[in-house]
Amino acid sequence: MRSTSKLDRAHQHRLDVRTGIGLRVDASTYSGWVRIRIEGRDLPGRRLGAEADALRLNNVHVGVQRGAEVVDRVAADSPEATWQFDVTSREVDGLLDVGGPWVHGRPGARFLYLSWGAVLGDRFEMFRRAKLLFGDVPTDLLRAAHDGAGVLVCQLGLTDAKGGPLCARVRPPDIEWTVQ
Protein backbone atom coordinates (compact mmCIF):
# COMPACT_ATOMS: atom_id res chain seq x y z
CA MET A 1 0.00 0.00 0.00
CA ARG A 2 1.37 3.42 -0.98
CA SER A 3 1.95 5.84 1.86
CA THR A 4 0.35 9.24 1.32
CA SER A 5 1.58 12.48 2.77
CA LYS A 6 -0.55 15.21 4.26
CA LEU A 7 -0.09 17.15 1.00
CA ASP A 8 -1.26 14.17 -1.08
CA ARG A 9 -4.43 13.90 1.02
CA ALA A 10 -5.14 17.61 1.09
CA HIS A 11 -7.87 18.99 -1.12
CA GLN A 12 -7.13 21.75 -3.58
CA HIS A 13 -9.58 24.57 -4.27
CA ARG A 14 -11.23 25.89 -7.40
CA LEU A 15 -10.65 29.63 -7.36
CA ASP A 16 -11.94 32.55 -9.40
CA VAL A 17 -8.96 34.89 -9.13
CA ARG A 18 -11.16 37.90 -9.96
CA THR A 19 -13.59 37.41 -7.07
CA GLY A 20 -11.70 35.09 -4.72
CA ILE A 21 -14.68 32.73 -4.57
CA GLY A 22 -13.59 29.12 -4.25
CA LEU A 23 -15.01 25.62 -4.03
CA ARG A 24 -13.29 22.47 -2.72
CA VAL A 25 -12.29 19.97 -5.39
CA ASP A 26 -10.08 16.90 -5.30
CA ALA A 27 -6.43 17.54 -6.27
CA SER A 28 -6.42 14.56 -8.63
CA THR A 29 -8.75 16.46 -11.00
CA TYR A 30 -6.09 19.04 -11.95
CA SER A 31 -5.02 18.55 -15.55
CA GLY A 32 -2.87 21.56 -16.44
CA TRP A 33 -0.01 23.53 -15.00
CA VAL A 34 1.55 26.98 -14.94
CA ARG A 35 5.32 27.36 -14.95
CA ILE A 36 6.39 30.13 -12.55
CA ARG A 37 9.76 31.85 -12.37
CA ILE A 38 10.58 34.18 -9.48
CA GLU A 39 13.47 36.55 -10.15
CA GLY A 40 14.82 38.21 -7.02
CA ARG A 41 17.32 41.07 -7.10
CA ASP A 42 18.92 43.41 -4.55
CA LEU A 43 19.48 40.79 -1.85
CA PRO A 44 20.08 42.38 1.58
CA GLY A 45 23.45 40.74 2.28
CA ARG A 46 25.04 42.58 -0.67
CA ARG A 47 24.69 45.97 1.03
CA LEU A 48 27.02 47.66 3.49
CA GLY A 49 26.26 48.03 7.18
CA ALA A 50 25.48 46.13 10.34
CA GLU A 51 22.30 44.45 9.02
CA ALA A 52 24.12 43.02 5.98
CA ASP A 53 27.09 41.97 8.13
CA ALA A 54 24.75 40.06 10.47
CA LEU A 55 23.07 38.31 7.53
CA ARG A 56 26.43 37.17 6.17
CA LEU A 57 27.77 36.08 9.58
CA ASN A 58 24.63 34.09 10.36
CA ASN A 59 24.67 32.34 6.97
CA VAL A 60 21.19 33.63 6.08
CA HIS A 61 19.55 32.21 2.96
CA VAL A 62 16.23 32.65 1.17
CA GLY A 63 14.34 29.87 -0.54
CA VAL A 64 10.94 29.02 -1.91
CA GLN A 65 8.62 27.01 0.33
CA ARG A 66 7.30 23.69 -0.99
CA GLY A 67 4.82 22.40 1.55
CA ALA A 68 6.58 22.84 4.89
CA GLU A 69 10.10 22.59 3.42
CA VAL A 70 12.21 25.52 2.19
CA VAL A 71 14.07 24.45 -0.96
CA ASP A 72 16.49 25.92 -3.49
CA ARG A 73 18.05 28.20 -0.88
CA VAL A 74 20.22 31.11 -2.00
CA ALA A 75 22.66 33.03 0.24
CA ALA A 76 21.52 36.53 1.27
CA ASP A 77 24.68 38.02 -0.23
CA SER A 78 24.17 36.51 -3.70
CA PRO A 79 23.85 38.91 -6.64
CA GLU A 80 20.41 37.46 -7.53
CA ALA A 81 18.07 34.58 -6.79
CA THR A 82 15.92 32.70 -9.31
CA TRP A 83 13.45 29.89 -8.69
CA GLN A 84 11.37 28.05 -11.26
CA PHE A 85 8.67 25.46 -10.67
CA ASP A 86 5.24 24.34 -11.87
CA VAL A 87 1.90 24.71 -10.09
CA THR A 88 -1.14 22.72 -11.09
CA SER A 89 -3.96 24.55 -12.80
CA ARG A 90 -7.24 23.98 -14.50
CA GLU A 91 -10.23 25.85 -15.77
CA VAL A 92 -13.73 24.86 -14.75
CA ASP A 93 -16.78 26.82 -15.86
CA GLY A 94 -14.65 29.87 -16.60
CA LEU A 95 -12.89 29.77 -13.24
CA LEU A 96 -9.11 29.43 -13.02
CA ASP A 97 -7.76 27.17 -10.29
CA VAL A 98 -4.18 26.80 -8.99
CA GLY A 99 -2.82 24.30 -6.50
CA GLY A 100 -0.04 21.95 -5.58
CA PRO A 101 2.67 21.83 -2.93
CA TRP A 102 4.11 25.27 -3.81
CA VAL A 103 0.73 26.98 -3.30
CA HIS A 104 -0.38 27.98 0.21
CA GLY A 105 -3.51 29.57 1.65
CA ARG A 106 -7.26 29.27 1.43
CA PRO A 107 -9.47 29.99 -1.56
CA GLY A 108 -9.39 33.68 -2.35
CA ALA A 109 -6.05 34.07 -0.56
CA ARG A 110 -3.66 31.75 -2.46
CA PHE A 111 0.04 32.63 -2.35
CA LEU A 112 3.64 31.49 -2.64
CA TYR A 113 6.17 31.82 0.20
CA LEU A 114 9.76 33.04 0.01
CA SER A 115 11.28 32.06 3.36
CA TRP A 116 14.36 33.54 5.07
CA GLY A 117 16.42 31.61 7.59
CA ALA A 118 19.83 30.78 8.96
CA VAL A 119 21.55 27.67 7.62
CA LEU A 120 23.13 25.83 10.57
CA GLY A 121 24.77 22.65 9.33
CA ASP A 122 21.95 20.67 7.74
CA ARG A 123 19.20 22.70 9.49
CA PHE A 124 17.31 25.73 8.19
CA GLU A 125 15.96 27.97 10.96
CA MET A 126 13.33 30.21 9.39
CA PHE A 127 12.78 33.69 10.83
CA ARG A 128 10.84 35.59 8.11
CA ARG A 129 8.64 34.94 5.09
CA ALA A 130 7.42 37.00 2.16
CA LYS A 131 4.00 36.28 0.61
CA LEU A 132 3.46 36.55 -3.13
CA LEU A 133 -0.32 36.52 -3.63
CA PHE A 134 -1.96 35.08 -6.72
CA GLY A 135 -4.67 37.71 -6.21
CA ASP A 136 -2.08 40.35 -7.17
CA VAL A 137 -1.35 38.64 -10.50
CA PRO A 138 -3.38 40.33 -13.25
CA THR A 139 -6.07 37.84 -14.32
CA ASP A 140 -5.16 38.07 -18.02
CA LEU A 141 -1.53 37.14 -17.23
CA LEU A 142 -2.44 34.14 -15.06
CA ARG A 143 -4.87 32.95 -17.71
CA ALA A 144 -2.29 33.42 -20.50
CA ALA A 145 0.26 31.32 -18.57
CA HIS A 146 -2.41 28.67 -17.92
CA ASP A 147 -3.23 28.64 -21.66
CA GLY A 148 0.45 28.03 -22.52
CA ALA A 149 1.47 31.53 -23.69
CA GLY A 150 4.68 31.39 -21.64
CA VAL A 151 6.18 31.40 -18.17
CA LEU A 152 4.53 33.50 -15.45
CA VAL A 153 7.45 35.64 -14.23
CA CYS A 154 7.59 37.50 -10.93
CA GLN A 155 10.29 40.15 -10.47
CA LEU A 156 11.00 41.77 -7.12
CA GLY A 157 13.69 43.26 -4.94
CA LEU A 158 14.43 41.19 -1.82
CA THR A 159 15.53 43.99 0.54
CA ASP A 160 13.00 45.92 2.63
CA ALA A 161 13.03 49.68 3.29
CA LYS A 162 15.24 49.21 6.38
CA GLY A 163 17.86 47.13 4.56
CA GLY A 164 16.71 43.75 5.90
CA PRO A 165 15.15 40.69 4.26
CA LEU A 166 11.84 41.44 2.53
CA CYS A 167 8.89 39.99 4.45
CA ALA A 168 5.08 40.07 4.76
CA ARG A 169 2.80 40.57 1.75
CA VAL A 170 4.63 41.96 -1.26
CA ARG A 171 2.32 44.28 -3.21
CA PRO A 172 2.62 46.01 -6.54
CA PRO A 173 4.55 48.12 -7.43
CA ASP A 174 7.18 46.26 -5.33
CA ILE A 175 6.42 43.14 -7.35
CA GLU A 176 5.88 42.89 -11.10
CA TRP A 177 4.23 39.98 -12.92
CA THR A 178 4.69 39.31 -16.65
CA VAL A 179 4.38 36.38 -19.07
CA GLN A 180 7.53 35.61 -21.05
Per-residue model confidence as pLDDT tens for the chain (180 residues) = 333 333 332 333 333 333 333 434 445 555 688 999 999 999 999 988 888 888 888 999 999 999 999 999 999 999 999 999 999 987 756 768 789 999 998 766 789 999 999 999 999 999 999 999 999 999 899 999 998 999 999 999 999 999 999 999 999 999 999 999
Half-sphere exposure of 39 (CA within 13 A, CB side): 10
What are the residue ranges spanned by the domains of the chain?
6-179
Distances (CA, A) of 169 to 93, 120, 121, 129, 145: 30, 27, 29, 9, 22
pTM: 0.81
